[in-house]
Structure 1
Amino acid sequence: MLVTPRIAHSHALHLFADMRNFLGVPNTLNVLTTFPFLLVGVPGLVLCLSGCCFGISLRGEKWGWAFFYAATATSAFGSAYYHLKPDDDRVVWDKLPMMTSAASLLSILVIERIDEQMGMSCLFSLITLVLVSIACERTFDDLRLCMMFHIVPCIVIPALLFLFPPKYTHSRFWFCATGFYLLAKFEAIADKKIYSASRYIISGHSLEHMCLAMVPIILTVMLWFRSIKIARDS
């Protein structure tokens, strides 16, 4: 942040390729494709808190996954609210749940593969940093801190997966989820090109929503089937 210039809001960030209205709903497909977040977020949160079906052995992991699923479910409302009328005031409700999800996943891996106390400190520190970054964005019109939550997890999460041994089985699901996340980011960048290539049926941004929804789906399947591989103290 010290060596890069301030990144201010731009109206162009709110201009998506597909802004069609169906049945009076503005930006219809961009709004409707946020619904899968709710479908996977709410059941995931319920199963996580019940503690009866998921392979979760540490209290810290339970906190991390609870934040992740709560943020996933909330993103359905936040993103839909933003896409109904995309502007600088509403975009915060789209970013906040996504950034919280990324912070939660990063902390979960620290809890699982390194140390529970360190991971819990990471979880609450990163969530605090999420709120600080949103405040900086709104106060100083600077997106740099928010952008870190899109860039850093893409680097740190794969690094943790490679450097530290898994505590549970089915750890390959992490790589699959990371792949869908990276694919979603590519689709967001190629929003207009994908919209044109699909003969104006669906845009890259709508596909981004569906690929991002695959991340909690894959991780939910992982939690359902995994078992302890390496015993670690809580």
Structure 2
Amino acid sequence: MDGEWWRKKWVAWAAAAAIFVVLMLVTPAIPQDEDYHDFADQRDLFLGIPNTLNVLSNIPFLFVGLAGLILCHYKNYFRLCSQGELWSWTLFYAGVTTVGVGSSYYHLYPNDATLVWDRLPMTIAFTSIVAIFIIERVDDRAGTKSLAPLVIAGALSILYWR
């Protein structure tokens, strides 16, 4: 019975991966409207930084992400129960940290090419949090094993859009 359950589980993962790939191949990329980059506040308020408030508003992401990374690895401050949780939370906080950098870069020079660096870190954080939900609510082992495929699928979706 146990062997059959594992086989069904791998078939389900393979089917999900195949469906993802087929959908990526048959669905055209959704173009980003150029007006998306036209911000309401385009003032240069500080040191000649374009879109100053949009750029500076991302600094808290940097600090929260760094604090989370430190606390994840400081004497198990969050009392994480498994390596899967540690990896997932580390990747989540790394994503939040890089949102601070990537989103600032995008808002400094808003266009489709820099938008990738805004969306990619967010996608890493979002997909890691999904793995964390699976670890904490469903099964530690399944959540840990889902982390890499989720992050890769998210990153591929951003790269495909670009």
Shorter-normalised TM range: 0.7 to 0.9
Give CA-to-partner distance per residue, 1:150-201, whole Å, 9 cap, x none: xxxxxxxxxxxxxxxxxxxxxxxxxxxxxxxxxxxxxxxxxxxxxxxxxxxx
Give CA-to-partner distance per residue, 1:48-100, whole Å, 9 cap, x none: 02343112111111111000111111111100000001001100000011011
Q: Does residue 62 of structure 2 align to residue 46 of structure 1?
A: no
Out of 50, 62, 70, which is 2:86 matched to?
A: 62
For residues 109-124 of structure 1, the aligned pairs below 5 Å read 109-124=133-148
For residues 184-195 of structure 1, the aligned pairs below 5 Å read none
Shift of 1:15: 1.1
For residues 164-175 of structure 1, the aligned pairs below 5 Å read none
Q: Does residue 102 of structure 2 align to residue 78 of structure 1?
A: yes
> 5+ residue gaps in structure 2?
1-22
How many pairs were matched up? Answer: 138
Out of 93, 96, 105, which is 2:117 matched to?
A: 93
Distance across 2 between alignment mates of 1:29 and 1:100: 25
Distance across 1 between alignment mates of 2:133 and 2:150: 13
* 3-state SS of 1:89 partner: helix
TM-score, scaled to structure 2:
0.79
Q: Does residue 129 of structure 2 align to residue 105 of structure 1?
A: yes
Shift of 1:132: 1.1
Partner residue in 2 for 1:37: 61
TM-score, scaled to structure 1:
0.56
Shift of 1:131: 2.0
Distance across 1 between alignment mates of 2:129 and 2:154: 14
Shift of 1:136: 0.8
Q: Which runs of 4 or more aligned residues in structure 1 lie more than 3 Å from their structure 2 counterparts after TM superposition?
A: 1-6
Partner residue in 2 for 1:25: 49
Residues 135/4 of structure 1: CA separation in 2 closer, same or farther (3 Å cut): closer
> 5+ residue gaps in structure 1?
139-234
Distance across 1 between alignment mates of 2:38 and 2:103: 15
Shift of 1:20: 1.3
Distance across 2 between alignment mates of 1:18 and 1:7: 26
Shift of 1:4: 7.6
Shift of 1:38: 1.0
Partner residue in 1 for 2:19: none
Partner residue in 1 for 2:155: 131
For residues 171-182 of structure 1, the aligned pairs below 5 Å read none
RMSD: 1.8
Shift of 1:7: 2.0
